[in-house]
Structure 1
Amino acid sequence: MKLSETHQQIRDTTRRFAQEVIRPLAEELDREERFPAEVYRQMGELGLFGITVPEAYGGAGLDAAAYALVMEELSRGYSSVADQCGLLELVGTLLSVHGTEAQRAQYMEPLLRAALRPAYCITESDAGTDVSGIRTTATRTADGWELNGAKLWIHNAPVADVAFVLARTNPAAGKRGMSIFIVDCDLEGVSKGPKEHKMGQRASQVGELHFDRVKLRHDALLGEEGRGFHIMMSVLDKGRVGIAALAVGIAQAGLEAALDYAQTRKQFGSHIAEFQGVQWMLADMAKDIQAARLLVHDAAERLDTGDRASIACSMAKCFAGDTAVKHSANAVQIFGGSGYIRGYEVERLYRDAKITQIYEGTNQIQRTIIARDLVANGASL
């Protein structure tokens, strides 16, 4: 996989930051479930948020391949940090493509320098994979809108300053009756649920947001009224490339740890890397991780060209997520009993990997998307 000079520079800069700043903190952040605001401020100063956001709006103005490289390298350090980068990328894309000049002027710069913490609010108790099931409503008033409802499993909810909320504005219109609103979290009627205690990616804050008769101005509407579902869905392909790259980063960190351990750990008078059983595990890890990486970069390229991007993004996300789970488990296996103990990196990687098969669309849904595209457009990719 040949990288351009620009891609090499962004990869090397991110790798160095992940190695020197993120990785030394990963065990502490996982143990304490702490939001690393100081790390995000440094990332904002380095320009690691808003990779594909146009330079005119304060982003790096790079392509999806650069975004994938950044996500993989951050995740090698700690996937919770990469997850924050992915969230900012989605929100930055929403604003740059669909926001008004006033909205971009108010929110973009503080978001990209980590002075504002966003939440991306779709999921509800009866609306997970099936987004059409949302019940949060926004009703027109003389002064704008009134927002009512609740969202759960929302990234950054416990610490959010501003929420991008999908709500029903015309319940009779189905998917065509949803709109997106920018909601400042200090408004009256906005409340936050407790932080959830998760299996993995524990420094990523997740919780509920509640909206009780929240008064919004007319200019809180993001994009065209009634197009919210389509706008939210339009950024999910990029989100899937980001999560796929994040999964590759988890798997790569597991391979590096397992290889190092296998070359130092001795049993029966030999390094365990000399045993064929361990060698085959390492070989399977390496080939599957590289295959996942190539799928990610193919999907990123298609995102930029528009060439059957959705099927490629689903393939990358599905395969990379499965690879991360399978081979972080193999990394634990190579470590043996040590790999099952808190404080060893591979134990955390195994827990961090599981969510990559769930969020940004479950891997079962990705298979459905792939199959439907094949039926509609044929097997030639």
Structure 2
Amino acid sequence: MNLTDMVRSFAAERIRPAAEDLDATERFPAEIYQGMGELGLFGITVPEADGGSGGTVADYVTVMEELSYGYASIADQCGLVELVGSLLARFGTAEQKKTYLPDLLAGTKRCAYALTEPQAGSDLGALSTRARRDGDGWLLTGEKIYIHNAPVADFAMVLAVTDPEKRKRGGMSMFLVDTALPGVTRAYHEKKMGQRASQVGGFVFDEVRLPAHALLGEEGAGFGAVMSVLEKGRLGIAALANGISRAALDTAREHARSRRQFGKPIAEFQAVAFSLADMATDHAAARELIRHGADLLDGDADAGATCSMAKLFASEASIRTTSRAVQILGGAGFIRGVEAERLYRDARITTIYEGTSEVQRLIISRSLL
């Protein structure tokens, strides 16, 4: 069984049947994540020597689309582990890798990727969370918001300012922060529009004492490090969005074939058929952009603009496809518990996280000009 078939089978058997309940209860599905860990679906591009699958970016985006077709929140967790696992594999010491990677990739240890702050989202240069030296270690103070897994994380990769004069030009560093440490508070647990099984909340760090070995990578190299994984992260969200689009197309097509009005299936009305055609075209075009970006990253080529194009197009296409699915289902598409209604809500965040559509347009335009 190839990778696509394996993930597609897992999504059909373990994820899709649970999606409605997970959306309703907002439950953290630890059992699904453990199953993904057993299949090697966490850390797709993390080297085998570090416990990962040693796959390509092309493999990663394939996994993300198939998982998202099952339920986007599950793919979101895969993307989170991919980013944190990649940073650990690339910048971690042998001891850090030994401490965090095995359980993280097995799906039994929960991570968070703590960048965003009340006044710093797209502009990471405006971070105010501060880590200052204290003897052999560090004292961490600040607040992070809208952090995936914050309510359940065992540890967080936290980006903090270590030199206020330099900031993103050599004044930011990454830290591995165990959430059980004194001074770490899980500030809130957000209630979200969509992708409701993805736990989102905040951290408050009040003079948290960190040991010297909590520093991930070199001091001052944090901003560049997190930027180094953003292109892969954007492709992952593009693939997640495209999984939503494919699910929307399939549920709309099934409804159009079975729903009869004026004596025939509504699929036979040109207005509905053309809408399905537009949905299929959006999905296919997004997939080609995503694959092109993955090929560039796998070939160590400049992929910045292409990854931004893929993320921009796929995320905005998911808004269009899910809206069309709701329209084709009519009143049924507006009812909680119907797949099209959930997909419509799940798609909305894809134009915002991992860089808003506006940020992607900025990156693309700068590459042109």
TM range (shorter): over 0.9
Structure 1 residue 281 corresponds to structure 2 residue 285: no
Using the TM superposition, give the Cα deviation of residue 254 of structure 1 relative to its aligned residue in structure 2, in angstroms: 0.3
Structure 1 residue 290 corresponds to structure 2 residue 284: yes
1:378 aligns with: none
How far apart, in 2, do the equivalents of 1:115 and 1:149 lie?
28
1:5 aligns with: none
1:26 aligns with: 19
Structure 2 counterparts to residues 255-270 of structure 1, below 5 A: 255-270=249-264
How far apart, in 2, do the equivalents of 1:48 and 1:276 lie?
41
2:102 aligns with: 109
How far apart, in 2, do the equivalents of 1:56 and 1:335 lie?
49
Moved over 4 A (4+): none
How far apart, in 1, do the equivalents of 2:301 and 2:178 lie?
37
Aligned partner (choices 225, 231, 237) of residue 237 of structure 1: 231
Aligned partner (choices 280, 299, 305) of residue 299 of structure 2: 305
1:3 aligns with: none
2:347 aligns with: 353
> SS of 1:350's equivalent?
helix
Using the TM superposition, give the Cα deviation of residue 174 of structure 1 relative to its aligned residue in structure 2, in angstroms: 2.2
Aligned partner (choices 110, 125, 137) of residue 144 of structure 1: 137
Query: Number of paired residues?
Result: 368
> SS of 1:14's equivalent?
helix
How far apart, in 2, do the equivalents of 1:122 and 1:373 lie?
25
How far apart, in 2, do the equivalents of 1:213 and 1:194 lie?
19
Aligned partner (choices 75, 92, 98) of residue 82 of structure 1: 75
1:168 aligns with: 161
Structure 1 residue 203 corresponds to structure 2 residue 201: no
How far apart, in 1, do the equivalents of 2:343 and 2:297 lie?
28
> SS of 1:250's equivalent?
helix
* CA shift digits 1:25-82 (9 cap, x unpaired): 0000000011000100010011100000000111100000000000000000000000
* CA shift digits 1:201-234 (9 cap, x unpaired): 0000000111101001111000111110110111
How far apart, in 2, do the equivalents of 1:151 and 1:9 lie?
40
How far apart, in 1, do the equivalents of 2:89 and 2:20 lie?
35
Aligned partner (choices 19, 43, 51) of residue 58 of structure 1: 51
How far apart, in 1, do the equivalents of 2:220 and 2:353 lie?
25
1:69 aligns with: 62
How far apart, in 1, do the equivalents of 2:29 and 2:103 lie?
17
| AA matched with 1:225 | E
How far apart, in 1, do the equivalents of 2:324 and 2:355 lie?
25
How far apart, in 1, do the equivalents of 2:302 and 2:277 lie?
31
Structure 1 residue 126 corresponds to structure 2 residue 119: yes
Aligned partner (choices 362, 365, 369) of residue 363 of structure 2: 369
Structure 2 counterparts to residues 40-51 of structure 1, below 5 A: 40-51=33-44
How far apart, in 2, do the equivalents of 1:288 and 1:203 lie?
26
Using the TM superposition, give the Cα deviation of residue 193 of structure 1 relative to its aligned residue in structure 2, in angstroms: 1.8
Using the TM superposition, give the Cα deviation of residue 308 of structure 1 relative to its aligned residue in structure 2, in angstroms: 2.1
* CA shift digits 1:321-374 (9 cap, x unpaired): 000011100000000000000010000000000100000000110011001011
* CA shift digits 1:124-159 (9 cap, x unpaired): 000011111110000001131000001000000000
How far apart, in 1, do the equivalents of 2:333 and 2:132 lie?
53
Runs (5+) with no aligned partner, structure 2: none
2:187 aligns with: 193
How far apart, in 2, do the equivalents of 1:21 and 1:93 lie?
26
* CA shift digits 1:267-316 (9 cap, x unpaired): 00000000000000000000110000010010011111122211110000
How far apart, in 1, do the equivalents of 2:4 and 2:128 lie?
41
| AA matched with 1:40 | Y
How far apart, in 2, do the equivalents of 1:288 and 1:151 lie?
35
Runs (5+) with no aligned partner, structure 1: 1-7, 376-381
Report the TM-score, using the length of structure 1 for normalisation.
0.96
How far apart, in 1, do the equivalents of 2:306 and 2:97 lie?
30
Structure 2 counterparts to residues 205-220 of structure 1, below 5 A: 205-220=199-214
